[in-house]
Chains A and B, each alone.
Chain A
Amino acid sequence: MTLSADEAARFAALLEEHQESLVTTWTEHVASTLRGRLSHAELQRQNSELRRGFRQALAGSAQDLAGEPAAELRAQLAELSATRARQGFTATETAVSIFSFKDAVLTTIDAASGGDAIALRDYVAFSSFVDEAALFTFDSYVRVREELIADQAEQLLELSTPVVKLWEGVVAVPLVGTLDSARAQVVMERLLQTLVDTGSPYAIIDITGVPAVDTQVAQHVLKTVVAARLMGADCIISGIRPQIAQTIVALGIEFGDIATKASLADALRYVLAKAGQTKQKRREL
Protein backbone atom coordinates (compact mmCIF):
# COMPACT_ATOMS: atom_id res chain seq x y z
CA MET A 1 0.00 0.00 0.00
CA THR A 2 1.44 3.35 -0.97
CA LEU A 3 0.67 6.77 0.43
CA SER A 4 -1.21 9.23 -1.73
CA ALA A 5 0.22 12.74 -1.99
CA ASP A 6 -2.61 14.05 0.23
CA GLU A 7 -2.08 11.45 2.87
CA ALA A 8 1.64 12.09 2.91
CA ALA A 9 1.12 15.83 3.23
CA ARG A 10 -1.45 15.45 6.03
CA PHE A 11 0.85 13.15 7.88
CA ALA A 12 3.84 15.39 7.47
CA ALA A 13 1.78 18.17 9.06
CA LEU A 14 0.68 15.89 11.88
CA LEU A 15 4.25 14.81 12.62
CA GLU A 16 5.25 18.46 12.74
CA GLU A 17 2.38 19.72 14.84
CA HIS A 18 2.60 17.04 17.51
CA GLN A 19 6.33 16.52 17.45
CA GLU A 20 6.90 16.79 21.17
CA SER A 21 4.17 14.45 22.37
CA LEU A 22 5.01 12.00 19.58
CA VAL A 23 8.67 11.76 20.47
CA THR A 24 7.91 11.50 24.18
CA THR A 25 5.33 8.72 23.77
CA TRP A 26 7.49 6.89 21.27
CA THR A 27 10.54 7.08 23.53
CA GLU A 28 8.53 5.63 26.41
CA HIS A 29 7.45 2.71 24.23
CA VAL A 30 10.97 1.97 23.06
CA ALA A 31 12.49 2.42 26.51
CA SER A 32 10.12 -0.18 27.94
CA THR A 33 11.13 -2.76 25.30
CA LEU A 34 14.86 -2.10 25.71
CA ARG A 35 14.61 -2.16 29.52
CA GLY A 36 17.16 0.45 30.38
CA ARG A 37 19.96 -0.73 28.12
CA LEU A 38 19.98 2.65 26.37
CA SER A 39 19.64 5.89 28.27
CA HIS A 40 16.39 7.81 28.01
CA ALA A 41 18.23 10.86 26.73
CA GLU A 42 19.91 8.81 23.97
CA LEU A 43 16.60 7.30 22.85
CA GLN A 44 14.92 10.69 22.95
CA ARG A 45 17.66 12.08 20.70
CA GLN A 46 17.43 9.16 18.23
CA ASN A 47 13.66 9.24 18.05
CA SER A 48 13.57 12.96 17.59
CA GLU A 49 15.94 12.63 14.64
CA LEU A 50 13.95 9.77 13.19
CA ARG A 51 10.73 11.76 13.54
CA ARG A 52 12.39 14.52 11.59
CA GLY A 53 13.43 11.96 8.97
CA PHE A 54 9.90 10.58 8.62
CA ARG A 55 8.46 14.08 8.38
CA GLN A 56 10.96 15.13 5.76
CA ALA A 57 10.27 12.04 3.66
CA LEU A 58 6.50 12.64 3.80
CA ALA A 59 6.82 16.35 3.18
CA GLY A 60 8.76 15.39 0.04
CA SER A 61 5.68 13.27 -0.85
CA ALA A 62 7.34 9.91 -0.33
CA GLN A 63 4.89 7.23 -1.43
CA ASP A 64 6.94 4.44 -0.04
CA LEU A 65 10.33 3.89 1.51
CA ALA A 66 12.08 3.02 -1.75
CA GLY A 67 11.93 6.37 -3.50
CA GLU A 68 14.21 9.39 -3.56
CA PRO A 69 12.27 11.48 -0.97
CA ALA A 70 12.95 8.76 1.62
CA ALA A 71 16.69 8.45 0.89
CA GLU A 72 17.68 10.41 3.97
CA LEU A 73 15.33 8.38 6.15
CA ARG A 74 16.75 5.13 4.80
CA ALA A 75 20.25 6.31 5.68
CA GLN A 76 19.07 7.12 9.22
CA LEU A 77 17.45 3.71 9.59
CA ALA A 78 20.56 1.93 8.30
CA GLU A 79 22.67 3.89 10.74
CA LEU A 80 20.37 2.99 13.63
CA SER A 81 20.50 -0.70 12.67
CA ALA A 82 24.27 -0.67 12.49
CA THR A 83 24.58 0.96 15.89
CA ARG A 84 22.09 -1.38 17.53
CA ALA A 85 23.72 -4.44 15.94
CA ARG A 86 27.07 -3.36 17.35
CA GLN A 87 25.59 -2.65 20.77
CA GLY A 88 24.27 -6.21 20.88
CA PHE A 89 20.54 -5.57 20.58
CA THR A 90 18.54 -8.22 18.74
CA ALA A 91 17.07 -7.73 15.26
CA THR A 92 13.57 -7.86 16.76
CA GLU A 93 14.32 -5.23 19.38
CA THR A 94 15.71 -3.01 16.66
CA ALA A 95 12.69 -3.41 14.38
CA VAL A 96 10.26 -2.98 17.29
CA SER A 97 11.84 0.41 18.02
CA ILE A 98 10.48 1.51 14.65
CA PHE A 99 7.18 -0.38 14.79
CA SER A 100 6.36 1.35 18.04
CA PHE A 101 6.32 4.69 16.24
CA LYS A 102 2.87 3.56 15.07
CA ASP A 103 1.64 3.25 18.63
CA ALA A 104 2.85 6.73 19.40
CA VAL A 105 1.16 8.08 16.27
CA LEU A 106 -2.11 6.31 17.05
CA THR A 107 -2.15 7.69 20.59
CA THR A 108 -1.59 11.17 19.18
CA ILE A 109 -4.30 10.86 16.49
CA ASP A 110 -6.78 9.62 19.06
CA ALA A 111 -6.11 12.58 21.28
CA ALA A 112 -6.11 15.08 18.44
CA SER A 113 -9.01 14.02 16.22
CA GLY A 114 -11.09 11.81 18.44
CA GLY A 115 -10.57 9.15 15.77
CA ASP A 116 -12.41 10.61 12.76
CA ALA A 117 -12.62 8.53 9.61
CA ILE A 118 -10.12 10.45 7.47
CA ALA A 119 -7.54 10.41 10.21
CA LEU A 120 -7.96 6.66 10.58
CA ARG A 121 -7.69 6.02 6.85
CA ASP A 122 -4.54 8.12 6.79
CA TYR A 123 -3.24 6.15 9.68
CA VAL A 124 -3.64 2.83 7.90
CA ALA A 125 -1.69 4.12 4.90
CA PHE A 126 0.94 5.64 7.13
CA SER A 127 1.24 2.53 9.22
CA SER A 128 2.26 0.44 6.22
CA PHE A 129 4.93 3.02 5.54
CA VAL A 130 6.26 2.54 9.06
CA ASP A 131 6.08 -1.24 8.61
CA GLU A 132 8.28 -0.90 5.56
CA ALA A 133 10.70 1.20 7.56
CA ALA A 134 10.80 -1.38 10.34
CA LEU A 135 11.42 -4.24 7.92
CA PHE A 136 14.12 -2.22 6.24
CA THR A 137 15.73 -1.81 9.66
CA PHE A 138 15.50 -5.54 10.19
CA ASP A 139 17.25 -6.23 6.88
CA SER A 140 20.01 -3.73 7.49
CA TYR A 141 20.48 -5.13 10.95
CA VAL A 142 20.95 -8.62 9.57
CA ARG A 143 23.42 -7.37 6.99
CA VAL A 144 25.49 -5.58 9.62
CA ARG A 145 25.45 -8.63 11.86
CA GLU A 146 26.72 -10.75 8.99
CA GLU A 147 29.56 -8.31 8.43
CA LEU A 148 30.39 -8.36 12.11
CA ILE A 149 30.43 -12.14 12.07
CA ALA A 150 32.67 -12.15 9.01
CA ASP A 151 35.05 -9.78 10.80
CA GLN A 152 35.12 -12.01 13.83
CA ALA A 153 35.72 -15.03 11.63
CA GLU A 154 38.69 -13.18 10.17
CA GLN A 155 40.10 -12.51 13.60
CA LEU A 156 39.55 -16.12 14.57
CA LEU A 157 41.31 -17.14 11.42
CA GLU A 158 44.37 -15.22 12.38
CA LEU A 159 44.32 -16.82 15.78
CA SER A 160 43.82 -20.22 14.22
CA THR A 161 46.96 -19.99 12.14
CA PRO A 162 49.56 -20.95 14.66
CA VAL A 163 53.14 -21.40 13.68
CA VAL A 164 54.65 -23.83 16.14
CA LYS A 165 58.19 -24.70 16.97
CA LEU A 166 58.07 -28.44 16.51
CA TRP A 167 61.66 -29.21 17.38
CA GLU A 168 64.89 -27.34 17.81
CA GLY A 169 65.39 -25.72 14.41
CA VAL A 170 62.07 -26.92 12.95
CA VAL A 171 58.93 -24.81 12.74
CA ALA A 172 55.61 -26.07 11.41
CA VAL A 173 52.49 -24.34 10.17
CA PRO A 174 49.35 -26.43 9.93
CA LEU A 175 46.95 -25.09 7.31
CA VAL A 176 43.29 -25.65 8.09
CA GLY A 177 40.14 -25.05 6.05
CA THR A 178 39.96 -22.92 2.95
CA LEU A 179 43.09 -21.04 2.10
CA ASP A 180 41.89 -17.87 0.45
CA SER A 181 44.28 -15.08 -0.47
CA ALA A 182 43.83 -13.10 2.75
CA ARG A 183 44.46 -16.16 4.84
CA ALA A 184 47.43 -17.25 2.74
CA GLN A 185 49.00 -13.86 3.30
CA VAL A 186 48.61 -14.17 7.08
CA VAL A 187 50.10 -17.64 7.02
CA MET A 188 53.11 -16.56 5.01
CA GLU A 189 53.81 -13.54 7.22
CA ARG A 190 53.52 -15.60 10.39
CA LEU A 191 55.81 -18.28 9.06
CA LEU A 192 58.47 -15.85 7.90
CA GLN A 193 58.36 -13.97 11.21
CA THR A 194 58.72 -17.19 13.16
CA LEU A 195 61.67 -18.21 11.00
CA VAL A 196 63.32 -14.92 11.90
CA ASP A 197 62.47 -15.17 15.59
CA THR A 198 63.66 -18.73 16.01
CA GLY A 199 66.44 -18.82 13.42
CA SER A 200 65.12 -22.21 12.30
CA PRO A 201 66.61 -23.75 9.17
CA TYR A 202 63.55 -25.96 8.53
CA ALA A 203 59.88 -25.20 7.97
CA ILE A 204 57.12 -27.77 7.51
CA ILE A 205 53.88 -26.68 5.85
CA ASP A 206 51.22 -29.19 6.78
CA ILE A 207 48.13 -29.32 4.56
CA THR A 208 46.30 -32.19 6.30
CA GLY A 209 43.46 -29.81 7.18
CA VAL A 210 42.94 -28.41 3.68
CA PRO A 211 39.97 -30.23 2.09
CA ALA A 212 40.83 -29.41 -1.53
CA VAL A 213 44.13 -28.31 -2.99
CA ASP A 214 43.30 -26.33 -6.10
CA THR A 215 45.72 -24.24 -8.14
CA GLN A 216 45.14 -21.19 -5.95
CA VAL A 217 46.09 -23.06 -2.78
CA ALA A 218 49.06 -24.61 -4.57
CA GLN A 219 50.21 -21.22 -5.77
CA HIS A 220 50.01 -19.81 -2.24
CA VAL A 221 51.96 -22.74 -0.85
CA LEU A 222 54.58 -22.43 -3.58
CA LYS A 223 55.00 -18.72 -2.92
CA THR A 224 55.41 -19.37 0.79
CA VAL A 225 58.08 -21.97 0.08
CA VAL A 226 59.96 -19.60 -2.18
CA ALA A 227 59.83 -16.81 0.42
CA ALA A 228 61.02 -19.15 3.18
CA ARG A 229 63.86 -20.32 0.97
CA LEU A 230 64.91 -16.75 0.39
CA MET A 231 65.29 -16.51 4.14
CA GLY A 232 67.53 -19.54 4.10
CA ALA A 233 65.01 -22.09 5.35
CA ASP A 234 64.31 -25.44 3.78
CA CYS A 235 60.60 -26.23 3.32
CA ILE A 236 58.76 -29.52 3.41
CA ILE A 237 55.09 -29.95 2.53
CA SER A 238 53.35 -32.59 4.59
CA GLY A 239 49.88 -34.01 4.98
CA ILE A 240 49.38 -34.95 1.35
CA ARG A 241 46.66 -37.59 1.54
CA PRO A 242 46.19 -40.07 -1.33
CA GLN A 243 43.13 -38.35 -2.82
CA ILE A 244 44.92 -34.99 -2.73
CA ALA A 245 48.03 -36.49 -4.33
CA GLN A 246 45.98 -37.92 -7.21
CA THR A 247 44.14 -34.64 -7.71
CA ILE A 248 47.35 -32.61 -7.71
CA VAL A 249 48.85 -34.92 -10.32
CA ALA A 250 45.75 -34.73 -12.55
CA LEU A 251 45.67 -30.94 -12.25
CA GLY A 252 49.26 -30.86 -13.41
CA ILE A 253 50.71 -29.04 -10.39
CA GLU A 254 54.40 -29.62 -9.91
CA PHE A 255 56.09 -29.04 -6.60
CA GLY A 256 59.49 -29.31 -8.29
CA ASP A 257 62.28 -30.17 -5.89
CA ILE A 258 60.22 -29.39 -2.79
CA ALA A 259 60.11 -32.39 -0.49
CA THR A 260 56.58 -33.68 0.13
CA LYS A 261 55.55 -36.16 2.81
CA ALA A 262 52.32 -37.98 3.67
CA SER A 263 52.25 -36.96 7.32
CA LEU A 264 53.71 -34.41 9.68
CA ALA A 265 55.56 -37.21 11.50
CA ASP A 266 57.15 -38.34 8.23
CA ALA A 267 58.19 -34.78 7.53
CA LEU A 268 59.76 -34.38 10.96
CA ARG A 269 61.60 -37.68 10.65
CA TYR A 270 62.89 -36.57 7.24
CA VAL A 271 64.06 -33.22 8.58
CA LEU A 272 65.81 -34.73 11.58
CA ALA A 273 67.59 -37.25 9.39
CA LYS A 274 68.67 -34.44 7.09
CA ALA A 275 69.81 -32.28 9.97
CA GLY A 276 71.74 -35.28 11.33
CA GLN A 277 73.49 -35.76 8.00
CA THR A 278 74.45 -32.12 7.89
CA LYS A 279 75.98 -32.34 11.36
CA GLN A 280 77.73 -35.54 10.38
CA LYS A 281 79.23 -33.85 7.31
CA ARG A 282 80.33 -30.90 9.37
CA ARG A 283 82.08 -33.22 11.80
CA GLU A 284 83.82 -35.01 8.93
CA LEU A 285 85.13 -31.78 7.47
Chain B
Amino acid sequence: MSEQGQRIEVATDQDVVRVRQLVRTLAVAVKLSLVDQTKLVTAASELARNTLVYGGGGSVEVAPVDNGRRKGIRIVFSDQGPGIADLDLAFTDGYTSGGGLGLGLSGARRLVDEFDIVTAVGEGTTITVTKWCR
Protein backbone atom coordinates (compact mmCIF):
# COMPACT_ATOMS: atom_id res chain seq x y z
CA MET B 1 0.00 0.00 0.00
CA SER B 2 1.10 3.59 -0.62
CA GLU B 3 3.45 5.36 1.74
CA GLN B 4 0.84 7.74 3.07
CA GLY B 5 -1.34 4.79 4.04
CA GLN B 6 -2.44 4.48 7.63
CA ARG B 7 -3.36 1.35 9.50
CA ILE B 8 -5.75 0.77 12.38
CA GLU B 9 -6.02 -2.48 14.29
CA VAL B 10 -9.67 -3.25 14.84
CA ALA B 11 -10.40 -4.96 18.14
CA THR B 12 -13.15 -2.86 19.75
CA ASP B 13 -16.14 -0.70 18.85
CA GLN B 14 -14.00 2.32 19.54
CA ASP B 15 -11.64 1.21 16.76
CA VAL B 16 -14.54 1.21 14.30
CA VAL B 17 -15.13 4.83 15.27
CA ARG B 18 -11.44 5.55 14.65
CA VAL B 19 -11.66 3.94 11.22
CA ARG B 20 -14.59 6.19 10.35
CA GLN B 21 -12.71 9.26 11.52
CA LEU B 22 -9.56 8.37 9.57
CA VAL B 23 -11.53 7.66 6.40
CA ARG B 24 -13.38 10.94 6.78
CA THR B 25 -10.14 12.89 7.23
CA LEU B 26 -8.44 11.34 4.17
CA ALA B 27 -11.62 11.63 2.07
CA VAL B 28 -11.76 15.33 2.83
CA ALA B 29 -8.04 15.67 2.01
CA VAL B 30 -8.44 14.21 -1.51
CA LYS B 31 -11.54 16.35 -1.95
CA LEU B 32 -14.22 13.72 -2.32
CA SER B 33 -17.63 15.41 -2.53
CA LEU B 34 -19.71 15.51 0.64
CA VAL B 35 -22.01 12.78 -0.67
CA ASP B 36 -19.09 10.54 -1.64
CA GLN B 37 -17.37 11.16 1.71
CA THR B 38 -20.53 10.08 3.50
CA LYS B 39 -20.93 7.01 1.30
CA LEU B 40 -17.32 5.94 1.82
CA VAL B 41 -17.37 6.56 5.56
CA THR B 42 -20.57 4.54 5.83
CA ALA B 43 -19.17 1.66 3.74
CA ALA B 44 -16.03 1.68 5.91
CA SER B 45 -18.16 1.59 9.03
CA GLU B 46 -20.03 -1.49 7.73
CA LEU B 47 -16.95 -3.39 6.65
CA ALA B 48 -14.89 -2.51 9.72
CA ARG B 49 -17.72 -3.69 11.94
CA ASN B 50 -17.90 -6.97 10.00
CA THR B 51 -14.13 -7.34 10.49
CA LEU B 52 -14.70 -6.88 14.21
CA VAL B 53 -17.88 -8.88 14.68
CA TYR B 54 -17.54 -11.73 12.18
CA GLY B 55 -13.80 -11.70 11.51
CA GLY B 56 -13.01 -11.62 15.22
CA GLY B 57 -10.97 -8.45 14.74
CA GLY B 58 -8.34 -7.55 12.18
CA SER B 59 -6.89 -4.51 10.53
CA VAL B 60 -7.93 -1.67 8.27
CA GLU B 61 -5.57 0.23 5.99
CA VAL B 62 -6.61 3.50 4.44
CA ALA B 63 -4.60 5.28 1.75
CA PRO B 64 -5.03 7.96 -0.86
CA VAL B 65 -4.59 6.65 -4.43
CA ASP B 66 -3.99 8.35 -7.76
CA ASN B 67 -4.41 6.62 -11.14
CA GLY B 68 -3.03 9.57 -13.09
CA ARG B 69 -6.47 10.78 -14.04
CA ARG B 70 -8.26 10.82 -10.73
CA LYS B 71 -7.55 10.77 -7.05
CA GLY B 72 -9.37 8.58 -4.61
CA ILE B 73 -9.25 6.57 -1.41
CA ARG B 74 -8.53 2.88 -1.10
CA ILE B 75 -9.34 0.88 2.02
CA VAL B 76 -8.32 -2.69 2.78
CA PHE B 77 -10.12 -4.63 5.53
CA SER B 78 -8.52 -7.89 6.57
CA ASP B 79 -9.17 -10.51 9.17
CA GLN B 80 -8.03 -14.05 9.91
CA GLY B 81 -11.52 -15.09 10.91
CA PRO B 82 -13.73 -17.95 9.70
CA GLY B 83 -14.04 -16.65 6.12
CA ILE B 84 -17.30 -16.63 4.18
CA ALA B 85 -18.46 -20.00 2.85
CA ASP B 86 -21.31 -18.81 0.66
CA LEU B 87 -20.59 -15.41 -0.89
CA ASP B 88 -23.88 -15.24 -2.80
CA LEU B 89 -25.77 -15.72 0.42
CA ALA B 90 -23.64 -13.20 2.32
CA PHE B 91 -24.29 -10.61 -0.40
CA THR B 92 -28.03 -11.20 -0.37
CA ASP B 93 -29.84 -8.11 0.90
CA GLY B 94 -31.22 -8.90 4.32
CA TYR B 95 -29.11 -12.00 5.00
CA THR B 96 -27.46 -11.94 8.39
CA SER B 97 -26.02 -14.67 10.56
CA GLY B 98 -25.80 -12.35 13.53
CA GLY B 99 -29.01 -10.37 14.03
CA GLY B 100 -28.02 -7.37 11.93
CA LEU B 101 -29.93 -5.82 9.07
CA GLY B 102 -27.97 -7.91 6.58
CA LEU B 103 -27.23 -4.90 4.40
CA GLY B 104 -23.60 -4.26 5.28
CA LEU B 105 -21.80 -6.24 2.58
CA SER B 106 -24.29 -5.66 -0.21
CA GLY B 107 -24.82 -2.04 0.80
CA ALA B 108 -21.11 -1.28 1.06
CA ARG B 109 -20.59 -2.68 -2.44
CA ARG B 110 -23.21 -0.25 -3.74
CA LEU B 111 -21.60 2.68 -1.91
CA VAL B 112 -18.13 2.41 -3.50
CA ASP B 113 -16.72 2.41 -7.05
CA GLU B 114 -14.57 -0.71 -6.78
CA PHE B 115 -15.12 -3.66 -4.51
CA ASP B 116 -12.98 -6.77 -4.30
CA ILE B 117 -13.33 -9.65 -1.87
CA VAL B 118 -10.98 -12.56 -1.22
CA THR B 119 -12.15 -15.06 1.34
CA ALA B 120 -11.31 -18.62 2.30
CA VAL B 121 -13.05 -20.73 4.88
CA GLY B 122 -10.87 -21.05 7.96
CA GLU B 123 -8.36 -18.51 6.69
CA GLY B 124 -10.04 -15.17 6.72
CA THR B 125 -11.42 -12.39 4.59
CA THR B 126 -9.85 -9.44 2.81
CA ILE B 127 -11.99 -6.77 1.23
CA THR B 128 -10.57 -3.90 -0.83
CA VAL B 129 -12.71 -0.93 -1.78
CA THR B 130 -11.94 2.23 -3.73
CA LYS B 131 -13.85 5.44 -4.19
CA TRP B 132 -12.73 7.89 -6.91
CA CYS B 133 -13.22 11.63 -7.07
CA ARG B 134 -15.67 12.62 -9.73
Contacts and interface: CB of A to CB of B under 8 A. Distances in A.
B115 to A, nearest CB: 13
B121 to A, nearest CB: 24
A211 interface: yes
Given A243-B35, A247-B39, A218 B17 contact: no
Question: Across chains A and B, which 7 residue pairs bring their CB atoms closest together, nearest first?
Answer: A251-B107, A243-B38, A214-B45, A215-B101, A243-B35, A250-B110, A252-B103
Contacts of B38: 211-212, 243-244, 246-247
A172 B39 CA distance: 27
Interface residues of A, number: 20
A253 B93 CA distance: 10
Contacts of A250: 39, 107, 110-111
A243 to B, nearest CB: 4
Contact of B101 (A211, A212, A218): A218
Interface of B: 13, 17, 20, 24, 34-35, 37-39, 41-42, 45-46, 49, 93, 100-101, 103-104, 106-108, 110-111
B39 A246 contact: yes
Given A211-B41, A214-B45, A247-B111, A252 B93 contact: yes
Contact of A215 (B13, B103, B110): B103
Contacts of B13: 180-181
Given A180-B13, A215-B107, A242-B35, A251 B42 contact: yes
Nearest to B20: A212
Interface of A: 178, 180-181, 211-216, 218-219, 242-244, 246-247, 250-253
B90 to A, nearest CB: 14
B100 A252 contact: no
Main SS at interface, chain B? helix
B126 to A, nearest CB: 21
Contacts of B104: 214-215
A157 B101 CA distance: 26
Nearest to B45: A214
A213 B35 CA distance: 12
B59 to A, nearest CB: 19
- Residue among A211, A213, A251 with most chain B CB within 10 A: A251
A216 B39 contact: no
Given A212-B41, A215-B101, A219-B100, A251 B34 contact: no
A253 to B, nearest CB: 6
B43 to A, nearest CB: 9
14 contacts: A180-B17, A212-B38, A212-B41, A214-B45, A214-B104, A215-B46, A216-B49, A243-B37, A243-B38, A243-B39, A246-B35, A247-B39, A251-B111, A252-B110
Nearest to B48: A214
A55 to B, nearest CB: 38
- Residue among A178, A181, A213 with most chain B CB within 10 A: A178
A243 B38 CA distance: 6
Nearest to B13: A180
B35 A214 contact: no
B35 A215 contact: no
Contacts of A251: 42, 46, 103, 107-108, 110-111
A164 to B, nearest CB: 26
Nearest to B104: A215
Contacts of B101: 215, 218-219, 253
- Residue among A180, A214, A219, A246 with most chain B CB within 10 A: A214
A103 B130 CA distance: 58
A238 B50 CA distance: 28
Contacts of B42: 212-214, 247, 251
